Structure 1
């Protein structure tokens, strides 16, 4: 009989690549992870791992078992969700991950709603980049997370993660009427490896140029302060652009950032996850419709009057 706990470790090894990374994620020692995987090989009756010095990779049988392990673990999550529903209202710890803008703008109201509707829940929030959410959900570090997707950037969640769309918001360019007009400017983007950085670079590339990035800043309030100080231009989402500082104007672009709730597949009907998603929806601030026709742009802020734009290149 194959042990689901060992299958979980094998899946994490396929996702993370090294035993040390698996051990860190599940708070085991590397030796304990190796022992569990060796025991799984004995249970399976075939080699699952290839060891070359200190490196370990999956054999074809190991990769096949990972595919089945995903289905097994998902079904166990569904069983857990069904039992939780039988027990009654959601209660206990609820580990929530979110990107910084959502932590600041959306989560305070969502947590207040959860406390009022489900006092037995104990929400615990951790900031996390969306690129790290799949691994954190798979390792059991999070129960639900807020993630975002941008135009020009593929989704970062993998097949082990289910998502529920929440809302879309437009993107704005600072202090220029179009991307093409900002070709020669210095740029402020997120750190390399983040979705914000990839979105800004690819949006510029789609407009026909490679941005000259001067600063890497993840916090959008700091980004807008840098823009106000003459340190460059940037792309910012609507939720971060409600009150730009003096000296910063915002041009709406035909680009979107979409926010979704993410959770392990099999937890779709878990009462705590359902309660969290309901609270996220209720706390969603109003956003202008993303499909605003090209040819218009705001004068000074995301909420100000609209006037014709020169170009949407």
Structure 2
């Protein structure tokens, strides 16, 4: 019988690329990870890893086992969900990861509704950039999380996760009110306020500007859209702002709609869709998103 914990380590090695990264994700030592993977190799009876310079990579058998392991882990999630559905009421911890704009606009109503309808739930919120959510779900630090992508920067689906659509938003070019009537092309020579490098918002802004024929000239970095809009109002530059963050812009900001869209989804581990806590969260989030749209 193959050990599920060791299968998770192998899947994480496939995803993260190094034993050191797997060890860090699980708060193990690298030698402990190597030892567990060696035991898994003995259980399977064929080599799963091979040396490639100073690193280890998966063999053909290792890649096959990872594909099947993802199916096994999803089946375990479905089993856990089925057992949880037999309990009286929805209860227990629900660890939620969400990006700052959603924490401010969507989550308050969601948390209130869940607390009212399912008082047995212990709701735990962590503010995270969407880039960090998949790893947190895989590593079981979260139970549900909000992801988003932009049509300018589509994100490849994660085979370990399932998602449901939540919100589709217009993206605006936020400009100082007195800067003129031009859109994205006219912002070529403007100073830009951009998110921290490495975030999805930063990457999306770069891609949108490059599609318009230029690289933005960055003056400020800010991740909170309220801060971004305050800087735009102070004539410190222009920025891209999604509809969720642009409902009440400060005086002195003009919003120019762009064809770019931002798409938000609720994500959870594959197989967990019918877990009562996950299903309750999805229902409450859709209600909150509907109220925002209306």
**How would you bin the TM-score normalised by the shorter chain?**
over 0.9
* 45-54 or 127-136: bigger deviation: 45-54
Alignment CA distance shift 1:183-1:61 (3 Å): same
* Structure 2 residue aligned with 1:309: none
What is the alpha-carbon root mean square deviation over aligned residues? 1.6
| Equivalent residues in 2 for 1:238-257, closer than 5 Å | 238-257=243-262
* Structure 2 residue aligned with 1:97: 97
* Structure 2 residue aligned with 1:34: 34
2:281 paired residue among 276, 281, 291: 276
* SS at structure 2 position matched to 1:183: helix
CA distance in 2, matches of 1:23, 1:275: 33
Is 1:287 matched with 2:293?
Answer: yes
Q: Deviation string for 1:66-110 (max 9, x for gaps)? A: 111111111111111111111232211111111110111111111
CA distance in 2, matches of 1:240, 1:277: 21
| Equivalent residues in 2 for 1:114-133, closer than 5 Å | 114-133=114-133
| Equivalent residues in 2 for 1:145-224, closer than 5 Å | 145-155=145-155, 157-175=157-175, 176-224=181-229
* Structure 1 residue aligned with 2:178: none
| Structure with the bigger percentage of helix | 2
CA distance in 2, matches of 1:67, 1:151: 28
Note the residue ranges of structure 1 that are not aligned, 5 or more in a row.
Answer: 289-313
Taking structure 1 as the reference length, the TM-score comes to 0.87
Matched-pair contact (CA < 8 Å) for 1:92–1:121:
yes
Is 1:227 matched with 2:232?
Answer: yes
Matched-pair contact (CA < 8 Å) for 1:130–1:156:
no
CA distance in 2, matches of 1:69, 1:3: 10
Note the residue ranges of structure 2 that are not aligned, 5 or more in a row.
Answer: 176-180
CA distance in 1, matches of 2:278, 2:21: 27
Taking structure 2 as the reference length, the TM-score comes to 0.93
Is 1:85 matched with 2:85?
Answer: yes
CA distance in 1, matches of 2:102, 2:172: 17
CA distance in 2, matches of 1:88, 1:23: 38
* SS at structure 2 position matched to 1:246: coil
Deviation (angstroms), 1:287: 2.9
Matched-pair contact (CA < 8 Å) for 1:171–1:238:
yes
Q: How many residues align?
A: 288
Q: Which is bigger in relative contact order (C-alpha 8 A, separation at least 6)?
A: 2
* Structure 2 residue aligned with 1:263: 268
* SS at structure 2 position matched to 1:173: strand
